[in-house]
Amino acid sequence: MKKLLTLLAGSTLAFYMQGCSDNATSADDDTPLSKGSVYVYTSEWTAKSGELRWIDEDGKLSKKSVEFYQDSKIVGVDGNLFVLEGSGTDNLILVDPSTNEKKWEKSLEDLANPKDVVKANKDEVWVALEGVSNFIKVAVKDGKIVKTVKTDGFEVKKGQSPHLVDFETRNDTLFGLFQRYTSTPSDDGYSKMDYSTPGLLAMYKLEDGSLLDTVQLVKNNPQVMGFAKGKLYVGSVGDYATADMYGIEVVDLAKKKSSAVVDGKSLGGGVYAMAFDSKDGLAYVAVYEGWGKITLAEVDLNEKKVKAIKGVSNITGSLAYDEADGVLYIGNDDAVYTYEDDKLNKVESAVKDVLPPYNITIVR
């Protein structure tokens, strides 16, 4: 019951802003990539549950589906598919991609709200928890929690989570992205959000989670990060309205400083989601211009140029870029689209009345 009550404290905007980007293919190295399987989680606020689907060999969204909690995220890691059931349920689930059946389910602490999964080693993964002041290492074999790392030192207001929302890895380092906003309950049942504190990047030892260092970000309420051409970029949405608070920044890890690459005015809105073509130094950005209008832009991170991509207008279902074949998968509010060689194409569904795309991942 405690988990269900947490939903009452969140706003509709909080649910709407759950779009995120797949980071399963964000490694920026020279290892040849095999073709992956594309999974799509479909859901909406009014649905009782969401549905896990996949793109079949015929290029259509699958007829078959598997139900999970409506507010869930899917993440592909090292050939595995994880389902992260959000606040109100707070579960971590491993799905076998060969059968699309559940292998195990691990109940997490109340309010955990898992947000991301990355590989720790061949047997374990790190799981980012947004709603509590810690993150965990989990055994892939059975879901057992083998280590917990506290993050309460990054809290802005004592007792409120620092909101860890994204992980990246590079060599022996684990990168954690903290939003660090605070909230105050109000009489109408919603919460008043304060995004005035800039985001924070923390670096940990990949193996044991020991804190190495931190970098103060220049933008507020970061949503996603990723590597392109060896550099780490962070996209922020700020308070959804103030241009100075959002945009894309690059982190100089050697100097422990971050600086803006594309400001909010040039971008035209906040970064709702972002996927990277790491080889060519491009970022595909779902730009939050306002409620019901999340457009798509291609950003040349080196030249700092922004190009609008027409044909999709409300990308509430995340972005995923497949480095293996150069295809961008787009979760617009009506369907999944692909973008390749400057061409936008709609992915047809094998059945009618499919729920809108909520997030997308690639498993390989």
Strands 145-150 and 164-170: unpaired
Count CB neighbours of 13 within 10 A: 11
Q: What is the CATH number of the domain that holds 134?
A: 2.130.10.10
Tokens of 78: 């090292």
> What is the block-wise mean pLDDT of the chain (364 residues), using blocks of 10 residues?
33 40 48 80 94 97 97 98 96 97 98 98 98 98 98 97 98 98 89 96 98 98 97 98 97 97 96 97 98 97 97 96 96 97 97 96 97
pLDDT at 22: 57
Q: Tell me how far apart the alpha carbons of residues 253 and 283 are, in angstroms, rounded to a whole number.
A: 19
Residue numbers of the domain that contains 132: 2-363
- Measured at the alpha carbon of residue 78, what is the angle toward residues 75 and 84, in degrees to the nearest 5? 25
The count of domains in the chain is 1
pLDDT at 14: 39
- Are residues 148 and 133 in contact, defined by beta-carbon separation less than 8 angstroms? no
pLDDT at 19: 45
Tokens of 85: 């059931």
Tell me the DSSP string of 227-278. Answer: EETTEEEEEE-TTSS-GGG-EEEEEETTTTEEEEEEEHHHHTSEEEEEEEET
Q: Tell me how far apart the alpha carbons of residues 236 and 273 are, in angstroms, rounded to a whole number.
A: 9
Continuous segment of H or E residues that includes residue 2: helix 2-9
Strands 343-346 and 336-340: antiparallel
SS3 154: helix
Instruction: Report the candidate in 213, 108, 117 with the shortest Cα–Cα distance to residue 168.
Output: 117
